[in-house]
Structure formats: C-alpha cells, structure tokens
Amino acid sequence: MNLYRYDECLRNDGFQRIAGIDEAGRGPLAGPVVAAAVVLSPVKTIAGVRDSKKVPAKEREELFWSVFCSCLDIGIGIIESETIDKVNIVRATQLAMKMAVEDLASRPDLLLIDAMKLPSLHIRQVSLIKGESLSASIAAASIIAKVVRDRIMEQYDGVYPGYGFARHKGYPTKGHIQSIISKGPCPIHRKSFEHVMTLALPFACGG
C-alpha cells in the first residue's frame, strides 16, 4: 500500500501542513511514553517508511535519519513513569502527543493521530486506527518516537544496571520479569501497572 496516497489526498483537499502523530511505549513496565509529531515534505518521499514495529532495528535507525533530514518539522513529547503512575497511561499518552505538537516550530492545520484524540488541542484532527499502516506521516512519527524511546532506555540501562533495559526496552520479557522478581522494581518502573505491583509485593512487605 502506498502510504503517501492518504496524505496526498488530504493535501489536495487543502491541508498543506499535516502533522502525523504516534507514540512508543504504552505497553512497557518501565520507562517513559514518547510521542512524535512529524510534518513531511509534500515534494519528498522516503523509501521504506512504514510502521516502526515492522522495521528491523538497523533499518529503523537509517529511516530515523532519513525522516529527520527530509521532513519539514519534528516535535517530541516525553512523559516519564512517575507521571504515568499519577494520571494513567492513556492520559500520559495524550499529554506526550500534545507536547509533541506544541514542540513543532509552526502550527499544523491538520493532525493525523494513531488511534487517539486530543480534545485539548483546537486543531482539526483525524484519529486513525492502525494509522501507521495508512499514513506516511503517522508511520514516520512512529519511527521517530520508537528510536527516541529506545535511546532513552539504553541510557537508563547504565543508570539502573542489571535490568536489561538496553535489550528489552522495558517491555515484559521473561528476562525483565525475572530481574524485577530478583531485584525489585527500580525508580523508572511503572508502579501503577498491575504486573509491576504484583512482582513488587514481596519487597513492599519486606520479603
């Protein structure tokens, strides 16, 4: 499927500054949720842009720089685990997306958002289920968000050694769960997530 076709149809309808928005990190047990807003150039296409979950890590890094160097604008929003615990992951994702839009250099005239609505932003917007498979702008945002979050988790691996954050990026792998069982949760674990709290219970009880 040509992901640029959807965006091009919207430009033909008069929307010239379209921001695709996606997030990375809703499912992990640790670390931030990261959102990206990307305004692609209407005259440039990037070969290989697609849903970041379907892109191997090495190619994803290459696409990150391709998007970064050819797009018109990029905004990033990062909400850390402490805030996720306070407001819940859905609200934290909305906050990260809002932050990403506000981080853009210029106001877009349309937001294409992956499976989310941002009622606090008074900008025309379209919520698309599996948007990273429909729109090049959202797919590009998914790549930017994923690479930025992965780099953050690699840095946290040095701050909190022994949890394997550089490998699993905070997702609930067998090795990650075992590290929580043996070491207890660290400061970037999402204490509001039931899985983390269940594994942390022996430590909370002094066990």
In 80-139, which ranges are E strands?
Answer: 110-114, 125-128
CATH number at residue 94: 3.30.420.10
Whether 165 is in a domain gets the answer no
- CA–CA dist 147, 169 (Å, integer): 11
pLDDT tens digits, one per residue of 130-178: 999 999 999 999 999 999 999 999 999 999 999 999 999 999 999 999 9
Distances (CA, A) of 136 to 20, 22, 157, 166: 8, 11, 32, 28
Q: Is residue 28 part of a domain?
A: yes
> Is the pLDDT score of 20 beyond 90?
yes
DSSP lists the bridge partners of residue 65 as none
**Domain range spanning residue 74?**
3-160
pTM for this predicted structure: 0.94
Look at residue 115 and tell me if it is in a domain: yes
Query: Is 88 contained in some domain?
Result: yes
Indicate whether 151 belongs to any domain. yes
Is residue 9 within 8 Å of residue 173, measured between CB atoms? no
Domain annotation covers residue 191: no
Amino acid letter for position 2 = N
Is residue 205 domain-resident? no
DSSP category for residue 54: G
**Stretch 40-49: mean pLDDT:** 95
At 122, phi and psi to the nearest 5?
A: -90, 60
In a domain, 10, yes or no: yes
Number of domains in the chain: 1
Cα–Cα distance measured from residue 64 to residue 194, given in angstroms and rounded to the nearest whole number: 33
Report the candidate in 127, 95, 123, 73 with the shortest Cα–Cα distance to residue 26.
95
